[in-house]
Amino acid sequence: DLSGSIPTPDVKLNLGGEFIKESTATTFLRQRGYGWLLELEEDDLEDNKPLLEELDIDLKDIYYKIRCVLMPMPSLGFNRQVVRDNPDFWGPLAVVLFFSMISLYGQFKVVSWIITIWIFGSLTIFLLARVLGGEVAYGQVLGVIGYSLLPLIVIAPVLLVVGSFEVVSTLIKLFGVFWAAYSAASLLVGEEFKTKKPLLIYPIFLLYIYFLSLYTGV
């Protein structure tokens, strides 16, 4: 007669270079095909992304585009075409919301109207540009028009100071509108328009006049 016993196998796990002996319960489950109960899922790397990366918000990119809009002179060396060629949504939205907050001296009911004008005004410029033969996408127009509101935000505190001087106030308003319109038009009006440039520059200029009127309450 043969008799004897089979010793429990000495099973070890390799975790991070260290061998850890399995317990009897763990070995029992593995021998009966229930080892999958002990498996741990690896952390999904996408779930650990920072919030800004998850929302596709690049603060450095937004800051660079703001500088491109506020300083539209080519001699300054900025690659201004990045505002048009690499459009984003959150930067222009932040600019439009900030402009809405300071418009009409804190009357928050104007916020939704300014956002509406931004969306449909950009749509009008986009359709006109396409009719004139321009190769531009709606997202690009939306981003350029939104970012180019920055000059109107810059002149807003100045208007509060010189508001009692009508001549100076009017000149500053004209300067702000020309600044914003030039910044937007220089990005949207390409060489493909040739002699048709005024047909697109004019509605852009009128759009920023209307934005300024929403701020001043005209």
Is residue 211 domain-resident?
Answer: yes
Residue 120's pLDDT is 92
Q: Is residue 154 part of a domain?
A: yes
Q: Residue 9 domain-assigned?
A: no
**So what's the pLDDT on residue 19?**
45
Tell me whether residue 147 is exposed, middle or buried, using C-beta atoms within 10 angstroms of its C-beta: 0 to 12, 13 to 18, 19 or more.
Answer: buried
**62 domain-assigned:** yes
User: Is 21 a member of any domain?
Assistant: no
Q: Per the domain annotation, does 199 fall within a domain?
A: yes
**Could you write out the DSSP letters of every residue in the chain?**
-----PPPP--EEEETTEEEEPPHHHHHHHHTT-GGGG--PPPPGGGGS-HHHHTT--HHHHHHHHHHHH---GGG---THHHHHS--SHHHHHHHHHHHHHGGGG-TTHHHHHHHHHHHHHHHHHHHHHHTT----HHHHHHHHHHTTHHHHHHHHHHHHHTT-HHHHHHHHHHHHHHHHHHHHHHH--GGGGGGHHHHHHHHHHHHHHHHHHHHT-
Distance CA(117)–CA(136), nearest Å, equals 20
Q: What is the pLDDT of residue 36?
A: 59
Residue-wise pLDDT tens for the chain (218 aa)? 556 555 555 544 444 444 445 566 667 666 666 565 566 555 554 556 666 666 677 788 888 888 888 887 777 777 777 777 777 888 888 888 888 777 766 566 677 888 888 899 999 999 988 888 778 888 888 988 988 898 988 888 888 887 778 888 889 889 999 999 988 888 887 666 666 778 888 899 999 998 888 876 65
Distance CA 214, CA 211 (A): 5
Residue 149: domain span: 56-216
| 54, burial (CB in 10 Å: exposed 0-12, middle 13-18, buried 19+) | exposed
Q: What is the pLDDT of residue 15?
A: 47
Is position 121 within any domain? Answer: yes
Cα–Cα dist 215/202, whole Å: 20
The pTM (predicted TM-score) of the whole model is 0.66
What is residue 33's predicted lDDT score, i.e. its pLDDT? 65
- Indicate the number of domains in the chain: 1
Number of Cβ within 10 Å of residue 172's Cβ equals: 18
Q: Is residue 193 part of a domain?
A: yes
**Which residue has tokens 């009508």?**
166
Half-sphere exposure in the Cβ direction for 137 (13 Å, CA)? 9
CA 42 to chain centre: 32
Residue 140: alpha-carbon gap to chain centroid: 12
Task: Write down the pLDDT at residue 207.
Answer: 92
